Amino acid sequence: MAPRWARQLVGIEYPILPGPWSAPGTAELAIAVSEAGGLGERRPSWHGLSFLSPGEAASTHARALGEARDDRTVVTNVLTGRPARGFYNRAIQDLGPMVADAPEFPSAATALAPLRVHAEAQGSGDFSPLWAGQAAALGRTMRAQELTRSLALEALAVVKALNG
């Protein structure tokens, strides 16, 4: 929950904050979140991959972003020990997306590290945490600055058209 002072400042009780992996892909989605009382989040995440396009991500992550489909992300705890949404890969397939006995954070990543290093050396994301939001398929291949500007301009055009 956002701090009380922040909620009072913007006049909302229950803010909708899209997570750092949930970059909006369309003006309509940005408007819908805003109309529902949502606030956009543009701060970098702990991993530094917030709001990335395929052109800005590491190669295995870029490939996953470029091939994103609505049915290819899943909430998993096998890569970090805590629930997070990422692209479905071999580790998630073989171990299952949510495992009751997954090592605690950050030990899960440490346990998979040798497999990850070997796979990534071969250009594979089979054991890598390839994080993505639910709307990954809406992503656009452009830099974050260009995407932010584009979404703002598109949203303004949609709002202007609605207001006649």
Give Cα 33 distance to the centre of its chain: 15
Kindly tell me the burial class for residue 77, based on how many C-beta atoms sit within 10 Å of its own C-beta (0-12, 13-18, 19 or more). buried
Closest of 1, 26, 21 to residue 13, by C-alpha:
1
Are 24 and 18 a contacting pair, CB within 8 Å? Answer: yes
pLDDT at 6: 65
Count of Cβ atoms closer than 10 Å to residue 89 Cβ: 23
Question: What is residue 152's predicted lDDT score, i.e. its pLDDT?
Answer: 79
CB 75 within 8 A of CB 84: yes
Tens-digit pLDDT string for the chain (164 aa): 566 776 676 666 665 555 544 455 666 766 776 677 665 544 333 333 345 555 555 677 777 777 777 778 889 999 989 898 888 899 999 999 999 999 988 888 888 899 999 998 888 989 998 888 777 777 666 666 777 778 778 888 888 888 87
